[in-house]
Structure 1
Amino acid sequence: MAKREHVEILTKGVDTWNKWRESNPEEKPDLIGANLSWTNLINANLREANLQRANLRGANLSLADLSKSNLSNTDLNSAKLNKTNLSEADLSWADLTYGMVNDANLVNACLRGTNFTEADLRAADLRGADLSWANLNMANLGKANLSRANLKGANLTGANLNWANLNKADLSWADLSWTQLNGTTLIEARLIGTFFTYAHMVNTNLERAFLENCSIYGASTWGLNLNGATQSGYIVTPPGEPAVVVDDFEIGQLIYLLLKSEKLGSFIESIATKLVLVIGNRAERESVLDEICKGISKHNHLPVVFDVNRGLANSQTVETAFILAQIARFTISDLSDTKSNPPEVELLVTNALRSKEYIPDNWTDKIINDISNLGWSLKVLRCEGKDFLLSYLQEKILGAQTSHKSTTQGS
């Protein structure tokens, strides 16, 4: 039971309470089981207070100091804890459903089994916090710092973890189903038996993470960084189906699609015979590239355009185009104005894409010779315009590509 004297002082207002704390620094507030629901406690000094099983439903504790306090099993449903200092506090098994905890300091706090259902924890500092078996269902943790946090067995279904920091966090056996993990960093995180079912992961950083026996059925991933990650035992099938296990996150998704989609299987089988990579700068050559694609489609081939934009041209651009070229039947590259757009020439010469070149009249002899001397080039055909190019598309390109990949130039 709470000390009646302490409760009476607190109910007189925060100013009176804080003055009493200053005058009695040795006194540890005993507020066990106190009914403080909907009380205004903004800026209150509750450091090291014992608030076990207290009723703080709807209370406003924003900017309060609750560091090292005991709030275990406390009712904080709908409470406001914006920018509150809760460092090293014990909130185990407390109820913070719908709580407003954004920008709060929860460094090294004990949050074991705490209920944060639909709580707002945006930009909260949870470094080193113990969130094992906590319920964070539908919680908003956008930009929160959870580095080195213990999230073993935590329920994070439907939570927003966009741009959150989970570096070196332990998420073993945590449920991240339907979770938003866009831009999230999980560098050196521990993920054993973690559920990523239907998770959304765009530009998620899993560099040097440890991933083992994770469920990835239905996960949507783009631009994952798995450099140096340890991966094994991904389960790509849903519960209730025979388990299909792979050792690579991104390959796992492809394997499941191949198992379930007859069309995808036949599509992959036909890529080498029908896919045509078209390289060019759409900002300046859109009409030409569009006409080339239409011509390719008419001949029952699948055009894929790679836009080499001047502002984005770099070594990664070259590497990406090279990878696409390896799975294409052949490549058509619009190399007009190469002096102002050199990465396209680099694609041809340094990566040695087997090609046929269509060269405009204003090209220098040096560029023509550089490409022609690669050894695998077909005879150079000079192109005076897109109409000329399209008229020869079937006869000189599509019809000739039985064993060559091809790069063409429109003017």
Structure 2
Amino acid sequence: MTDKAHIAQLKKGVAAWNAWRDENPDIRPDLSGANLYRAQLSKVNLGEVNLREANLSEASLYDARLAGADLRKAKLYQADLNFAKLGGADLSMANLSGARLRTADLANAKLFRANLNAAHLGNAKLVKANLTGADLQYALLVETDLTGADLTGSRTHGVSAWGLKLDGAKQQNLVITPDDEPEVTVDNIEVAQFIYLLLHNEKIRDVIDTIGRKGVLLLGRFTEGRIEILERLRDELRNRGYLPIIFNFDKPETKNFTETVRLLAGLSHFVIADVTNPKSAPLELQATVPEVMVPFRPIIQEGEKPFAMLADLWIQHRDWVFEPLYYSSLDALVGALDEKIIGPAKARFAELLARKAEKMKGEHV
């Protein structure tokens, strides 16, 4: 039960309450079950306070100190907890639906079966937090730190998950379907929304299929002087019913784009790489070509030399790497597009597809 003396002290205001807490460090205030609906408690010191089943809905707890507080079954519906310190707090079965927790510190907090439906957790720190069985449906998780957190069995339908830190996080049995549908579970929160889209959106499946059949990756260093090459190839491919995917290496040379190139190449029907004056491109191509078995056609403007490792890539992977096509002008390149690039690439793609479908038989002696 709520200690009436503690409630009376809190009603004197945040400054008076914080001073009283400083003067009485051994007292653990009991505000369990207290009605603090819409209370203005910004920067309040509620560390280690018993707030079990308290009603803090729509309360302002901006930058509040709640470390180690007992908030089990507390009502925090649409509460402002931005920048709040909740490290080690027990929020098991608390209702945080619609709460704002941007940049809040929830490290080591217990959120077992907590309701975080539509909560804003952007940049929040949930390191080693226990979110077992929590309701994260429609929650906003952008740049959220979930390092070592336990998300086992949490509900993630409609979650927006971008740029998460998930080292050591447990992500088993995440429920991606809403409450009124049969449960479908995955083991990675970052792919949860994508898998659900695949299950319920035929257009998404069509897009993925289209990319595999019609996607063409255009690689090159398209600086201001060479942007015309990119634009013309893109237009010509579109006119032929292809879906051009463009990756321009005209970025800081210190950055490694290998994973991006590898992913885009794996989604494509074939790759056209303008390696004229490649500079940064060789690093990514040397790492991508051996692992991604799709037709790869290098093109080079006449008078330029290919980078040194291109010959090695062709020798080692000539089943899908074509010899370079030297073009004298943009018009000449476009004129040869169907005969020298698209036609051979389509034929090679079919050959590679058939090879991938072959089954190993072995020999008997």
- Distance in 1, matches of 2:139 and 2:157, equals 9
- Distance in 2, matches of 1:172 and 1:335, equals 50
- Once the two structures are TM-superposed, the CA of residue 320 in structure 1 deviates from its matched residue by 1.9
- Once the two structures are TM-superposed, the CA of residue 33 in structure 1 deviates from its matched residue by 6.3
Equivalent residue number for residue 291 of structure 1: 232
- Distance in 2, matches of 1:256 and 1:173, equals 19
- Distance in 2, matches of 1:249 and 1:180, equals 12
Report matched runs for 1:7-406 at 5 Å: 31=5, 34=8, 39-44=12-17, 45-47=19-21, 68-217=28-177, 238-249=178-189, 253-284=193-224, 285-311=226-252, 314-315=255-256, 317-338=257-278, 341-342=279-280, 344-352=281-289, 354-364=295-305, 367=308, 369=311, 373-374=315-316, 376=318, 377-404=321-348
Matched residue type, 1:289: L
- Distance in 1, matches of 2:4 and 2:197, equals 59
1:377-398 CA-partner distances (Å, limit 9, x unpaired): 4344321222221111112111
1:201 alignment partner, SS class: strand
Greater C-alpha Rg: 1
Equivalent residue number for residue 233 of structure 1: none
- Distance in 2, matches of 1:348 and 1:116, equals 52
Contact 2:134 2:155 in 1 (8 A): yes
- Once the two structures are TM-superposed, the CA of residue 369 in structure 1 deviates from its matched residue by 4.6
CA 113–312 in structure 1, closer or farther in 2 if over 3 Å, else same: farther
Matched residue type, 2:247: F
CA 266–72 in structure 1, closer or farther in 2 if over 3 Å, else same: closer
- Distance in 2, matches of 1:75 and 1:115, equals 10
- Distance in 2, matches of 1:134 and 1:280, equals 53
- Distance in 2, matches of 1:356 and 1:207, equals 38
- Distance in 2, matches of 1:77 and 1:89, equals 17
- Distance in 2, matches of 1:386 and 1:263, equals 36
Matched residue type, 1:177: Q
CA 261–133 in structure 1, closer or farther in 2 if over 3 Å, else same: closer
Equivalent residue number for residue 362 of structure 2: none
CA 125–66 in structure 1, closer or farther in 2 if over 3 Å, else same: farther
Contact 1:142 1:162 in 2 (8 A): yes
Q: Greater helix percent: which structure?
A: 2
2:20 alignment partner, SS class: coil
1:279 alignment partner, SS class: strand
- Once the two structures are TM-superposed, the CA of residue 41 in structure 1 deviates from its matched residue by 4.9
1:175-201 CA-partner distances (Å, limit 9, x unpaired): 112211111111121123211121111
- Once the two structures are TM-superposed, the CA of residue 310 in structure 1 deviates from its matched residue by 2.3
- Distance in 2, matches of 1:252 and 1:36, equals 43
1:162-181 CA-partner distances (Å, limit 9, x unpaired): 10011111112221122111
- Once the two structures are TM-superposed, the CA of residue 256 in structure 1 deviates from its matched residue by 4.0
- Distance in 2, matches of 1:206 and 1:269, equals 30
- Distance in 2, matches of 1:78 and 1:241, equals 35
- Distance in 2, matches of 1:164 and 1:90, equals 23
Identity %: 32
- Once the two structures are TM-superposed, the CA of residue 43 in structure 1 deviates from its matched residue by 3.6
- Once the two structures are TM-superposed, the CA of residue 108 in structure 1 deviates from its matched residue by 0.8
- Distance in 1, matches of 2:76 and 2:192, equals 32
Contact 1:48 1:66 in 2 (8 A): no
1:356 alignment partner, SS class: strand
TM-score, normalising length from structure 1? 0.73
- Once the two structures are TM-superposed, the CA of residue 248 in structure 1 deviates from its matched residue by 4.9
- Distance in 2, matches of 1:181 and 1:198, equals 11
- Once the two structures are TM-superposed, the CA of residue 206 in structure 1 deviates from its matched residue by 2.4
Matched residue type, 1:389: L
2:333 alignment partner, SS class: helix
- Once the two structures are TM-superposed, the CA of residue 150 in structure 1 deviates from its matched residue by 0.8
- Once the two structures are TM-superposed, the CA of residue 115 in structure 1 deviates from its matched residue by 1.8
- Once the two structures are TM-superposed, the CA of residue 293 in structure 1 deviates from its matched residue by 1.1
Structure 2 unpaired stretches of 5+: 350-365
- Distance in 2, matches of 1:36 and 1:352, equals 66
- Once the two structures are TM-superposed, the CA of residue 88 in structure 1 deviates from its matched residue by 1.1
- Distance in 2, matches of 1:73 and 1:95, equals 7
1:359 alignment partner, SS class: strand
1:105-136 CA-partner distances (Å, limit 9, x unpaired): 21111111222222211111111111112121
Matched residue type, 2:217: L
- Distance in 2, matches of 1:207 and 1:97, equals 33
Contact 1:169 1:190 in 2 (8 A): yes
- Once the two structures are TM-superposed, the CA of residue 282 in structure 1 deviates from its matched residue by 4.5
Contact 1:174 1:194 in 2 (8 A): yes
Matched residue type, 2:284: L
